[in-house]
């Protein structure tokens, strides 16, 4: 469970009664796609003939450019998460990261799910003695990718929901 029981209005678009602008929603989705894309190789190494997670990342990027409808993007996210079901380890978490990135088009707060699952993928791929260090490095990499317009929003979201995201953002 990565979503809080009460939705944060900062992640609800203005037209739906929140305060999130469409441009910042797109930036959140693109950042989530970057996070998921950074770990996609874990899935593709395990399942080289399954395009669903890559398609989900491509879909959310297309949505951010105005080329795809939200419902199509959300469906691509569902297919990516279905690709994870029978897997274990880094490949599973990488597919979930891609799915979470895609559904950010529908619910902006899924941006943190993409990031957290990507961190889990990196941690899972590492030797036991390296898991914490590798996870911290991935979190720092993700933070370095944050556009200035959404940086404080995402960092505050990480602080508020870290406990829901397996403490993935402890740096």
Q: Which two tokens stand for residue 84?
A: 């994870």
The pLDDT confidence band at residue 111, using thresholds 50, 70 and 90, is very high
| E strand or H helix at 84 | helix 70-84
pLDDT reading at 1 higher than 80 = no
Which residues are CB-neighbours of 48 under 8 A, at least 6 positions away?
none
Which of the four pLDDT bands, split at 50, 70 and 90, describes residue 99?
very high
Question: pTM score > 0.85 for this model?
Answer: yes
The pLDDT of residue 171 is above 90: no
């Amino acid at each position: 469970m990565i979503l809080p029981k009460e939705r944060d209005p900062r992640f609800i678009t203005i037209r739906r009664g929140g305060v999130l602008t469409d441009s910042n929603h797109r930036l959140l989705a693109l950042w989530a796609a970057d996070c998921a894309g950074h770990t996609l190789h874990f899935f593709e190494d395990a399942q080289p003939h399954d395009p669903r997670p890559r398609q989900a990342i491509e879909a959310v990027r297309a949505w951010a450019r105005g080329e795809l409808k939200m419902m199509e993007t959300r469906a691509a996210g569902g297919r990516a998460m279905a690709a994870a079901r029978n897997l274990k380890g880094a490949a599973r978490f990488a597919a979930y990261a891609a799915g979470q990135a895609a559904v950010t088009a529908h619910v902006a707060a899924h941006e943190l799910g993409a990031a957290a699952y990507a961190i889990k993928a990196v941690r899972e791929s590492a030797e036991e003695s390296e898991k914490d260090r590798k996870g911290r490095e991935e979190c720092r990499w993700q933070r370095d990718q944050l556009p200035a317009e959404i940086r404080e929003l995402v960092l505050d979201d990480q602080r508020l929901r870290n406990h829901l995201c397996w403490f993935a953002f402890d740096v």
